[in-house]
Structure formats: structure tokens, C-alpha cells
């Protein structure tokens, strides 16, 4: 759990790299790049709107991984992992399955290690996945109209 909490995003990025090598989804990247910025912006705004003290601070214990006692809302790791997983469902199904399992495992590991509450992780998943789903759906529907054929 500790390794997943700290380094689980490596799995997400490996799945992304594998899908890029196999599928070469360059047209989708045109849609996903702004969605990445949107997800990052939403993550930042959510963190400014709600301060959620991390579990290890509230419980007065040492977390299983070294972490500062800053705002835990939303989980940035969960946001990134969910974005990658959701985007991959429009590009490469085997890689998407791996990335989705990784996103769930990362979120659960961060809860287990006491650096996030379940709400922090759930919010991160939503903030990451929704822009990716919107971009993927837009690419699927309108991508070919702009001279960019769908995969």
C-alpha cells in the first residue's frame, strides 16, 4: 500500500505510454490537452474552496508515508490517475483497464496511509475523470469533422 500511495502514478503513466505507442492517438491529444488544463484548474480551485485537514493530523498519528500536513482536498494523485484512466477508455481498452485499476488502488492506498479521507479521493476521481470524459466524447463526436479521423 505504501508503494502504491507513493509511486502508483508510474503505473498510470506506463499505461498511457503503452497506449500512445500502440495506438498513436495524436488527434485525441488535441482534445485532451485543454482537458488536462481544465482538470488541473478544477483541482486547484477545489483546494482553495475547501480545506480538509489530513487524517493523520486529525488523528494525531504518523502517516505511513512522509507527508506535509497541508490541505488534503482533493487528492491530486487521484485526480491525475482518474484523468489518465478516463482518457484511455477512448483510446485503448487494455491500457484503460490497467489505468483504472491503478486509479482505484492509488486512491485506496492513500486512504490507507492516512494522507487522505475518502471524500478527498472521491473528489479527485471526479475532478480528474469528468474533463477527460468530456474531451473524449467531444473528440469521438466532432474529431472527424475537423479533418481528424477517430481511431
The one-character DSSP state at 146 is G
Separation CA 114–CA 98 (nearest Å): 24
Per-residue pLDDT tens listing for the chain (151 residues): 999 999 999 999 999 999 999 999 888 999 999 999 999 999 999 999 999 999 999 999 999 999 999 999 999 999 999 999 999 999 999 999 999 999 999 999 999 999 999 999 999 999 999 999 999 999 998 875 555 455 5
> 102: closest CA among 29, 35, 15?
15
C-alpha cell at 39: 482538470
- Between the alpha carbon of residue 119 and those of residues 4, 55, 78, 105, the distances in Å are 19, 11, 11, 15
pTM of the model: 0.92
In the three-class reduction of DSSP (H, G, I as helix; E, B as strand; rest coil), residue 135 is classed as: helix
Amino acid at each position: 500500500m505504501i508503494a502504491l500511495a507513493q509511486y502508483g502514478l508510474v503505473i498510470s503513466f506506463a499505461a498511457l505510454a503503452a497506449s500512445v505507442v500502440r495506438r498513436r492517438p495524436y488527434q485525441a491529444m488535441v482534445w485532451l490537452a485543454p482537458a488536462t488544463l481544465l482538470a488541473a484548474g478544477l483541482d486547484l480551485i477545489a483546494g482553495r474552496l475547501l480545506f480538509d485537514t489530513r487524517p493523520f493530523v486529525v488523528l494525531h498519528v504518523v502517516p505511513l508515508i512522509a507527508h506535509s500536513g497541508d490541505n488534503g482536498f482533493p487528492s491530486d494523485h487521484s485526480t491525475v490517475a482518474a484523468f489518465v484512466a478516463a482518457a484511455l477508455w477512448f483510446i485503448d481498452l487494455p491500457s484503460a483497464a490497467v489505468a483504472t485499476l491503478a486509479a482505484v488502488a492509488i486512491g485506496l492506498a492513500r486512504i490507507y496511509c492516512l494522507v487522505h479521507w475518502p471524500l478527498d479521493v472521491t473528489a479527485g476521481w471526479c475532478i480528474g475523470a469528468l474533463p477527460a470524459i468530456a474531451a473524449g466524447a467531444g473528440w469521438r463526436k466532432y474529431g472527424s469533422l475537423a479533418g481528424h479521423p477517430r481511431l
